[in-house]
Amino acid sequence: MSRAPIGWSALLTGVNAVRTLALVGGVALHAVNLYIGTTILPSVVRDIGGLEYYAWNTALFVVASIISAAMATQVLGKLGPRFAYVLGALIFAAGSLACALAPSMPVMLAGRVVQGFGGGLLLALPYAMIRLLYEEALWSRAIGLLSGMWGVATLVGPAIGGMFAQMGAWRWAFGALIPAAALFTVLAVCVIPRHNTVQSQPSQVAWTQLFLLAGAVFAVSAGSVSTQAAWNAAGVGAAVALSALLVIIDKRAINRLLPRDAFRSGPMGALYLAMGLLGMTVTSTEIFSPLFFQVLHAQTPLASGYLAAIMSAGWTLGSLISSSATGVRARLAIRIAPVLALAGLVGMAVLMPSPSSGNWQVLAPLCIAMVAVGFAVGIAWPHLSTRVLQIAPQGEEDLAASSIMTVELFATAMGAALAGMAANLGGLSSPGGVPGTAGAAQWLFAVFTMAPALCMLTSRQTATPDSPATRQTADSAA
């Protein structure tokens, strides 16, 4: 008698339903927190100051997430699934409490770092636990649900942040995350096993490369505080030096962040460069959009949060539409993406800096430009990610898979740091006000048009399929 096929009902009923809720809850907390943070930041800086450190909130949170996500398999191996998850949730809740009570921006930034460490574990552990909690036939569906939490976050995050900000109670937006973390902790204690059911050797953490990566982001962030070009240049120069050292060490290291072909001229290096550049076009410009909409276009915190999130919504829409494309259509998506993203950023650079009363004659074309940027990245991202897996050197397939998230998070953190530098150079904190914010918007979007423009230079290599001979030659050369 043949066994009935396993479908969604097996994942969403019985004890599996509770396990699934616990796992998606961890990813959702990390994702929703990002959108809450971007939505309420204008209210935060009006209350406790620190406008010049605006972008640090995202940059530090994401860098801490990268480091803790890299530690996830080690924590899982030492503590077991249940206590590893509980640890991540408790750290995240502690960081949220610190943010909710922060009397000044330095305390807020410290809280965001703690949040990031907990959030990184909650982001990475669910993916690592899938093979421990479900039979193989359910793995792809479970991964799909976890990925879908980013789409949910674009709806929930701005709503939570916007409502509390409009009530003048932005602190409660962070506070609301604490009971949510407590709920998922209770679920984890009830349904996630205490010990690993599948034995495996966890990969070693590439500590040196991670600290160099964090140092590069921090160098740009430190340079961004000043409006003096020399100080900005020093920050960028230090970041370049640290990044170069990271490349040298990672190429020679036993435990690497990226596959061995990532830093060589060729398809693999071009793929990572394209993913980083395209990722920056969304994450870096999205951070300041709520502030621009509130100051320049008379939008409420709730409305500005949703208007900023439409860029990520465009990313999700583009991914859904493009993910089934193959062959010529997939290659066309990769080639079109940077052109469309560049057009959208030019539109934002022209439209966003001009103050308005918030009428839809102004907002509609601005929103179209924002959706275009997100949609452009979305149509290319599934195919760039797939290409990374397809041409990964033999024996490094797992490293290639995990590197996709590393590159995406690094692009977010570095993009945030560079965005803060561009905005401060444009006058965000000095002279500030409407003129300074308008100048910051113009500088930010104009500077980041370079990202998709540079990405066009990689499209030939990233869109060209590898022949088996090409891959064999690359592996032999390595």
| Domain span holding position 376 | 260-478
For residue 49, is it within any domain?
yes
- Alpha carbons within 13 A on the beta-carbon side of 211: 5
Q: Are residues 221 and 119 in the same domain?
A: no
Q: How far is CA 272 from CA 41, 121, 207, 333, 432, in A?
A: 30, 24, 21, 16, 36
Same domain, 364 and 476: yes
Question: What gap in Å lies between CA 122 and CA 134, rounded to an integer?
Answer: 18
Residues 150, 30, single domain; the answer is yes
Q: Where are the beta strands (DSSP E) in 144-241?
A: none
Does 3 reside within a domain? Answer: no
On whether residue 118 sits in a domain, the answer given is yes
Considering just the CA atoms, what is the radius of gyration of the chain in Å?
22
The answer to whether residues 157 and 219 belong to one domain is no
Q: Does 1 fall in a domain?
A: no
Could you read off the pLDDT tens digit of each residue along the chain, which spans 478 residues? 344 456 778 888 888 888 889 999 999 999 899 899 999 999 999 999 999 899 999 999 999 999 998 888 888 888 889 999 999 999 999 999 999 999 999 999 999 999 999 999 999 888 888 878 888 777 778 877 887 788 788 889 999 999 999 999 999 999 999 999 999 999 989 888 887 765 555 567 888 989 999 999 999 999 888 778 888 899 999 999 999 999 899 888 888 888 878 887 778 888 889 999 998 898 888 889 999 999 999 999 999 999 988 988 898 888 888 877 888 888 899 999 999 999 999 999 999 999 999 898 889 999 999 999 999 998 988 888 888 878 888 777 767 777 888 888 888 899 999 999 999 989 998 888 999 999 999 999 999 999 999 999 887 777 665 534 334 433 443 3
**Do 88 and 235 have their domain in common?**
no
CATH number of the CATH domain containing 144 = 1.20.1250.20
- Structure tokens given for 231: 């100080």
Is the bond preceding 431 in cis, omega lying within 30 degrees of 0? yes
Using the 8-state DSSP alphabet, how is residue 176 labeled? T
Per-residue DSSP letters for 376-416?
HHHHHHHHHHHHHHHSPPTT-HHHHHHHHHHHHHHHHHHHH
**166 Cβ neighbours under 8 A, 6+ residues apart:** 300, 301, 302
Query: Cα angle vertex 193, ends 196, 120, to 5°?
Result: 75
Residue type (1 letter), 285: T
pLDDT at residue 199, rounded to an integer:
57
- Are residues 456 and 358 part of one domain? yes
Closest CA to 70 of 410, 428, 469, 303: 410
Q: Which of 179, 199, 219 is a domain's end point?
A: 199
| C-alpha–C-alpha distance, residues 160 and 122, integer Å | 20
pTM: 0.85
Domains of the chain: total = 3
pLDDT at residue 178, rounded to an integer: 95
**What pLDDT score does 468 carry?**
40
Q: Which of 183, 238, 181 is nearest to 214 (CA)?
A: 238
Residue 6 lies in a domain: no
Q: What is the pLDDT of residue 183?
A: 93
